[in-house]
Amino acid sequence: MKLFLNSLAGLVGLSAAVLAADYAQAEGAGSGPLGWIKGDWYLTVGASGFVAPDFDGAKSHVFTGIPMISLGKAGPEARFTSRNDNISISLMDTGPFRAGVNGKVIFGRDSDDAVATEGLDDVRFGGELGGFAEVYPTDWLRVRGEVRHGIRSHDGVVAELKADAFADITDAIRISAGPRLSAATSGYFDAYYGVDAEEAVNSGLSEYEPGSGLRSLGFGGAVTWKATDKVTTGVFAEYWRLQGPAADSSLVEERGSRDQYTIGAWATYRFDFSM
């Protein structure tokens, strides 16, 4: 597990080093400290609506939605993007390699959101902030890693690794699918899966103190339709099975399920502008 977390952190660290070198080169060329900002940019905004578990580890499902935002400098069009990609700002895009900062909005979990979580502490509204890097080993495969630190909702570190094989059925329709893996530190698991002594009394669940480790293994797929040059829509399905500290939680074992799935659709619009 440490090797996995270190590998993803190294991937993000490599992107930072490359970005620093690129910035230094721009400085040497006399572009000034803000020279990199000048040029053509794009902003992609949209939303995704889907049926998902009522809470992490739940066996019941609800309909919900999240925003989709991506900002970056214009250049060669990304070979592949996924609704799984969290809110991202691309700081470098060479085609085969793309990297930058990213974040995730967390809407929280109230103890009265579901019968299963009654008596547990709330997970506060907040988010996660970190970095991402992605590479294309072939023309039909993308591998992406994200490492994020919790803000307000939890004080842990979350790491995700995703691989997607993709193929164009027509000029406008693309299919994609691939495996997913996620891991986290104890700060994340404690917020979502931990049950301290007081919570055990209030909820009736067995006391549980999680450590760090693998969170889930899964698989997902999507069909994407590029309706116009600026409008993209799609449908998707994801399945993952909880592992390690998540699967061993009394919340999951006594009231939830290790098997989790999400099914939904999304739509985005791309704005082009110059700085």
* pTM recorded for the entire structure: 0.80
How does residue 32 score in pLDDT terms, banded at 50, 70 and 90? low
Domain hosting 220: range is 2-274
**pLDDT class of 259 with cuts at 50, 70, 90:** very high
Count of the separate structural domains present in the chain: 1
Res. 65 pLDDT band, cuts 50 70 90: confident
Q: Check whether 132 has a pLDDT greater than 70.
A: yes
* Pairwise CA distance, residues 129 & 95, whole Å: 24
Q: Where are the beta strands (DSSP E) in 169-230?
A: 173-184, 213-226
State the burial class of residue 115 (Cβ atoms within 10 Å of its Cβ: 0-12, 13-18, 19+): exposed
CATH label of the domain that carries residue 73: 2.40.230
Looking at 6-10, 244-248, 260-264, which range is the least confident one? Answer: 6-10
Report pLDDT digits (tens) over 201-240. Answer: 999 999 999 999 999 999 999 999 999 989 999 999 999 9
What does DSSP assign to residue 58? -
